[in-house]
Amino acid sequence: MPDQPSQEMHRHKMTVQHAVNAVIRQIRGSEKDSEAHQVLREYKGNVHGGGSNRLNSTPTIEHPSNTGVIYVMDRASKKGWSSEDQTWGNFGQGAPEVGHIEGAPEKPMQLHLKEEEFEYAPVSGVRSLREAVANLYNVRYRQEKQSKYTYENWVIGDANVGFFLPEYTAYEQLLGIFKRFVPIPTPLHPETGFHVSPEFLRQEVADRGLGVIVCSNPANPTGQMVEGDEMKEWIRIAKEHHTTLVLDEFYSHYIYTNGPENFGRTVSAVEHIEDVDKDPVIMVDGLTKNFRLPGWRVCWVIGPKDVISSLSSAGSFMDGGANHVLQQAAVPLLEPKRVLSDAKALQRHFLAKRNYVIGRLSQMNLPVINPPKATFYIWLDLRPLPEPLNNGLAFFEEALDEKVIVVPGIFFDINPGRRRELFDSPFHHYIRLSFGPPMDQLVRGLDGIERLLIKHKFLMAPGSIG
């Protein structure tokens, strides 16, 4: 016969287990009954669990998942949003405002073409642009280093692969399409500020046998970053374990830890690389975010010469290279003094927008627990809100009725191959807000969120008596 304490412990364990099971059933049930979840599941390409994403009219062609910003903007369009409608507040799209900001150099508004620019550009990019990029990075980050980049370190245009969650939504399709990759996610937590310390990275690489790590730094959507001695240690770990680091540095100018006296300081792993042709580090950047030219679609990859040669070969049968005309037009934009002036103006302008959005949210009793150190995103925890607003997908649908666009947090729980169920995501109660748009649009969007919270009685209407 089991003794009395053992019986009591068994009953206690069973009680806890029943409680846990009840919560799981409630989560499953609430997702099943939620209109917001049903709409997402029914979108073309989002079939899961034995269904097919194959297009009815075209044999063997499958529709990719409709998630992330594409899904968000499609839903907003169905609710009446258009880019010409100035009554909406769009926190959804991950793009910076493109107009002139105070103190920034003027952007070219006209291009003077040469006849040779009607020809195909080299797959790896025009040499003048590759040289301009190499010079910019050497001036900014490598003046005291013997190993310098040349135009050959740049291209324009089987392994376990580790990535951190939350992460940029488009990585889901990217990591899922290459069958020789085994994507291995590592969730990050608010208690650690969504930060990846060198100690944590070393443990993950060793325990999981990671051959490649892919991440955005600064990070989309959390706005956190690794820099300085920590980045130096990241690179040391990569070399020791023969692991390749692939770093998305598209937000490396949007830095808010500098202080006004240091506006213009930017971050890049380039600063901490010892040998540009041996260290296993690949960086991706471009004109899209840091230069506020998303429509130009001119980007670059930085890495050892043998990696760049491989990318050039792959580009010959994948995309054929970047636009010739805009590559040539980009060359003068990369003059180091001009870039410094532009970065100073950008940081001053976007820091003011960041602080405004955080301040307004705080007034609505929605504190930003981990304020962004970089990027133009706020990763907002909705748990202070009542149901259904504490669910990011439900909040998104409700906000559309107030002409406000946000991105539900579950879209940043990237899930290549869909090995995890949607309801298992730890990011259900988050949304991403972009403060990339102009200030007047941010004001409209925050006014709309305030109306939504008043409608659901989380806030009192101005002038109301409690």
Please tell me the predicted confidence (pLDDT) of residue 9.
47
Token pair, residue 208, equals 């999981």
Task: Please check whether residue 247 is in contact with residue 215, taking contact to mean a CB–CB distance below 8 angstroms.
Answer: yes
pTM of the model: 0.86
Helix locations, 292-391, DSSP H: 305-318, 324-330, 336-363
Distance from C-alpha of 94 to C-alpha of 10, rounded to nearest angstrom: 51
* Average predicted confidence (pLDDT) for the chain: 86
Give the count of beta carbons closer than 10 Å to the beta carbon of residue 2: 9
Distance from C-alpha of 96 to C-alpha of 435, rounded to nearest angstrom: 8
pLDDT band at 93 (very low <50, low <70, confident <90, very high): confident
Question: Quick check: 336 pLDDT over 90?
Answer: yes
Distance from C-alpha of 416 to C-alpha of 166, rounded to nearest angstrom: 13
In sequence order, the β-bridge partners of residue 187 are 165
Smallest CA-to-CA distance from 231 within 303, 167, 281 is with 281
Q: How many helices (H) and strands (E) would you count in the chain? A: 12, 12
Please tell me the predicted confidence (pLDDT) of residue 56.
56
pLDDT band at 415 (very low <50, low <70, confident <90, very high): confident
Please tell me the predicted confidence (pLDDT) of residue 147.
94
pLDDT band at 311 (very low <50, low <70, confident <90, very high): confident
Task: Please check whether residue 416 is in contact with residue 172, taking contact to mean a CB–CB distance below 8 angstroms.
Answer: yes
Using alpha carbons only, give the angle 190, 217, 282 rounded to the nearest 5 degrees: 140
Burial of residue 356 (CB within 10 Å: 0-12, 13-18, 19+) is middle
Please tell me the predicted confidence (pLDDT) of residue 54.
52
SS3 at position 327 = helix
DSSP-assigned letters across all residues of 258-297: S-GGGTT----GGGG-S-TTTS-EEEEEESTTTTS-GGG-
Q: Residue 242: in which H helix or E strand, if any?
A: none
Distance from C-alpha of 330 to C-alpha of 156, rounded to nearest angstrom: 11
